[in-house]
Structure 1
């Protein structure tokens, strides 16, 4: 049996309206879902990305820790979005710059190339291209 791919990623944010505005600009789209969860424990805004993956922003009705994200803590290190080529990475660098999103430029390694950046809660994000693309 093959192990399945990721269907969705959900991150907790400290300010849902701010993060929704930021991710809408990054994704070039509005959420396909923006609602309270059935049990009322959290509210989420969900984006549909190319390839069928969903990306959700969650707020836990004021129960968030308020701490900024740090990849050194146990849990999430970063989220990477796959792109098809180095040329596409260059386009994303330009888009990030146009949006005023700080980034580190394209970094190359033997396992691929990527550009790293952070969201308003300091969550580490990356655009990544496999080697040879």
Structure 2
């Protein structure tokens, strides 16, 4: 009997969520690095004795903070959806498999053993 890797099948099924998650990570990291560069540039100009308009810098940083917060929230949502979809499909597969088993299997194997295997395999 061929043993299938159901997790890999489901991971590929929902790979679009993982791709969007990766894009959100890259976007957030880009914003983070850009903000750090802006602050470093302003500090360097101040140390060189140049005039720096703080209000302009702060307004840009506030926009970047808001955008970064939205990206982090969306990233977490896509991560949660990815996990939830895979877990739900795995549970449905386990229940479908149990429904296909003969009644004699349940007579020979204890209920506790079946439940332990199910919960350990799904988590």
Bigger radius of gyration: 2
Structure 1 length-normalised TM: 0.22
- The higher relative CO (CA closer than 8 Å, separation ≥ 6) is in 2
Structure 2 length-normalised TM: 0.23
